[in-house]
A and B are shown apart, each in its own frame.
Chain A
Amino acid sequence: MTPMRELLEPDSIAVVGASASPGKSGYILLKNLIDHGFPGRLYPVNPSADTVLGLRAYPSISALPEPPDVVFIVVPREHVLDVVRQCETRKVRAVVIVSAGFAEVGGDGAILETELRQVLARSGIRAIGPNTVGFANAGRKLVASFVPFPRWIDGRVALAGQSGLFAGGLLHELMAREVQSPGMRLAVSFGNKIDLDEVDFLDHASRDPEIRVIALHLESLKRPREFFALARRVSPRTPVIVLKSGRTAAGARAAASHTGALAIEDRVLDGAFRQANIVRASNVEEFMAFIRSFAWAPVPDGGRIGVLTHSGASGVIVADEIDEAGLRLASLGKTTTDRIAALLPSWQPVGNPADVWTGVGGAARRLLEVPLMALLDDPGVDAVLGVLLALPATDFAELAEVFGEARQRHPGKPIFLVLYGSDVKERWLRALDDVKIPVDPDTRLPIRAIRAMVDYDRRRRRRSTEGAENAEAARGRRGR
């Protein structure tokens, strides 16, 4: 049992600081656990209540009928050490310290955290936190956080966050979305990383065959050397996407005061990320877009893009952006252009971007299906980007069918969409969700996603072919 598994797969959980007052962290945490159907045994610990949320409450850890596998600690910071000592006596194996006010606030908090670290180390108890919003393990129906989640969408992504509220905020938004949400198999907030950290997370997530994308938001790296060495081994199989903040001097200072950790020069980190073939997102938007893209779309064989658009003007903008991203507009074969030309007035030239504006107002299935399939069928096209108006008079069942079939016929070619429109856009998105087509509000995001995928694939392939044999040849050349 790896340490992370102990924490993420408990059969029994105690919440110290469970509260009967709605709105309090100790209440929401317990409510989430109950509402999302945690099948194990739950023990609220609260000396001033007999029951909390219908469950029998206990006055202390020592009063529990059995030692719980994991203890969540949601008490003011001055009581945390005491609770941990009780856990030690009861031989609890893992704790999640939700309480804040430790190293992240400096001063007394930092001193307290040092003491806490010593107690934990001595006791052998594994810990997440302090200052964590908790975690969720969809495979175990386990949502343990004080951020209210009316629902949790399972998926193929594992997400690790560092800073408490940000990780919670990000997840909350993702889970609140009706559409375009990649779904999380696993989400962990590490807070101050007093014990378990991103290396443990990466190790654990990489072993789970259900997890197809690993994403991390990092402000600091606790064990950078191990992290990069491990990521290098993991990334060929599972893409690892990182949002690392604190890249500028100002950001680094902010990060240092926030996490109490020393910064590494960002250019050096950047080199290390490339070396490990980690996909680096520049900002939150990109981070979310990359996660969704890697989770839903196949990695293309190359960077030749076929563009389908309802607007010639959009086509020009996209052409610029594709060029700036170091990608190419695909050269279309004659069969492809002939097929598209058959739909358009004879006086309209066909090229790439393929402008199918005559489809607007008609919304006939053919006007979308024919150019889409023509582009995908073209061997010179690696990926398709559609920049479309969400047409009102659309048969949505047909829409899902068209894209579903496109994906089936070309499982190795990603399709990205940018949709413009208002009222009907929601309905378009719902139909597209079923077939997992990433839709973005802006053309720059899918283009950057394609670029990230192309780089990831190129590095992955280069490494697998130029491996050991080259090293041997080089050694021979040096005459060793």
Chain B
Amino acid sequence: MLAAARARGRRALTEPEAKAVLCLSGIPAPRGCVATSAAEAGVLAARLTPPLALKIVSPDLLHKSDIGGVELHVGGADAEAAWNRLANRVRAQLPGVRLEGILIEEMVSGGVDIIGSVTHDARLGPVLMVGLGGLWVELLRDVSFRLVPLDRADVVEMLDELKGAALLGGLRGRAPVDREALVDALLALSELSQEFEEELQEVEINPLAVSSHGVCAVDAVILLRNAT
């Protein structure tokens, strides 16, 4: 895992690589696999529960949705065709792009979206940021910060500080989320960043879907620090 994290000369890990790192740290990701061909996509899809998400895997692409590199709500039977559609679309838009494959994942529904990220600050070291995903963060800047290392009490306090904290308790008929699992995941993120402080520039899980059943890292980006 360490070797995977230290891919020399690369700025970032691919999504499946990032998710593998997170899984090893104790943060679950959706069930899924990388299909390197349309046929493979069909086979893999049969083993998963739809609806499925198909996402381009490329070391050259960090923001897949910007160039239409994502297809959602794909049915099992449609996986093969979707693979081709996606691959062609991306190759048409970015001819030189290195396509390692397409990640086929089970979609996660329900729950509250959280953003959890650790960024390496030159002066403070790793800094953990937590916020409620989407508009809460972008528009309202409803986020909390703490320095790594931190403990359980710190994480709980961070969550309580969020203006939208009530969402975690369940709103409009939703069951309250599994706070323990959320706290565990954020602590795991913090420990990961501490253990690999030299290598990691940023680890962002957005969204980290949190429900009454637990947590799931739906999308993740890991940026590596520049080799000096």
- Chain A residues near B (Cβ < 8 Å): 221, 224-225, 228, 262, 264, 267-268, 270-272, 274-275, 459, 462-463, 466-467, 470-471, 474, 477-480
- B residues in contact with A267, CB < 8 Å: 143, 145
Residues of chain A within 8 A of B153, CB atoms compared: 462-463, 466-467, 470
Q: A262-B123, A477-B180 are in contact. Are A275 and B26 (CB under 8 A)?
A: no
Contact A479 B26 (CB under 8 A): yes
Contact, CB under 8 Å: B26 / A478: yes
Q: Is the CB of A466 within 8 A of B150?
A: no
A474 with B184: in contact, given A224-B124, A225-B124, A467-B151 (CB under 8 Å)?
A: yes
The reply to whether A268 and B121 contact each other, CB–CB distance below 8 Å, is yes
Within 8 A of A (CB), among B133-185: 143-147, 150-154, 157-158, 161, 180, 183-184
Question: A477 and B184: CB pair below 8 A?
Answer: yes
Distance (Å) between the CB of B117 and the closest chain A CB?
12
User: At the interface, yes or no: B125 with Cβ under 8 Å from chain A?
Assistant: yes
Query: Do B127 and A268 touch across chains, with their CB atoms under 8 A apart?
Result: yes
Cβ contact within 8 Å between A272 and B121: no
Query: Which residue, of A270, A275, A470, has the highest number of chain B Cβ atoms within 10 A?
Result: A275
Expressed in whole angstroms, the Cα–Cα distance for A24 and B158 within the complex equals 52
Contact B146 A275 (CB under 8 A): yes
Instruction: Knowing that A274-B161, A470-B153, A479-B26 touch, tell me 6 more A-B residue pairs with CB under 8 angstroms.
Output: A221-B123, A262-B123, A270-B145, A271-B158, A274-B146, A470-B152
Dominant secondary structure at the A interface: helix
Dominant SS among interface residues on chain B:
mixed
Q: Which residues of A contact B150 (CB under 8 A)?
A: 275
Chain A residues near B121 (CB-CB < 8 A): 264, 268
What are 21 inter-chain pairs, A to B, with CB distance below 8 A?
Answer: A224-B123, A224-B124, A225-B124, A225-B125, A267-B143, A268-B121, A268-B124, A271-B127, A271-B147, A272-B124, A274-B146, A274-B157, A275-B146, A275-B150, A459-B157, A463-B153, A467-B151, A467-B153, A474-B152, A474-B187, A477-B184
B residues sitting closer than 8 Å to A (CB atoms) are 26, 121, 123-125, 127, 143-147, 150-154, 157-158, 161, 180, 183-184, 187-188
Partner of A225, one of B123, B145, B157, B161: B123
Q: Which of B143, B147, B151 contacts A272 (CB 8 A)?
A: B147
Knowing A225-B125, A471-B152, A474-B152, the reply to whether A271 touches B145 (Cβ < 8 A) is yes
A477 and B156 CA atoms in complex are apart in Å by 17
In the complex, residue of chain B having the shortest beta-carbon distance to the beta carbon of A466: B153
Q: How far is the CA of A272 from the CA of B127 in the complex (A)?
A: 9
By a CB distance below 8 angstroms, the chain A residues around B123 are 221, 224-225, 262, 264
Residues of B within 8 A of A272 (CB): 124, 145-147
B109 to chain A, nearest CB (A): 25
Contact (Cβ within 8 A) A478 B147: no
Cβ of B127: which chain A residues have Cβ within 8 Å of it?
Answer: 268, 271
Residues in B with CB closer than 8 Å to A221 are 123
| Interface contact A478-B184, CB-CB below 8 Å | yes
Minimum CB–CB distance for B36 against chain A, Å: 31
A225 x B26 contact (CB < 8 A): no
Q: In the complex, which residue of chain A has the Cβ closest to the Cβ of B183?
A: A474
B residues near A262, Cβ cutoff 8 Å: 123
Most-contacted residue by chain A among B124, B157, B187 (CB, 10 A): B124
* Contact A471 B147, beta carbon cutoff 8 Å: no
Q: Which residues of A contact B161 (CB under 8 A)?
A: 274
Pair A466/B145 contact, Cβ less than 8 Å: no
In the complex, what's the smallest C-beta–C-beta distance from A246 to chain B, in angstroms? 14
Closest to B151 in A: A471
For the complex formed, measure the closest distance between the CB of B24 and the CB atoms of chain A, giving whole angstroms. Answer: 11
* Minimum C-beta distance from B90 to chain A (A): 36
- CA A463 – CA B154 in complex, angstroms? 9
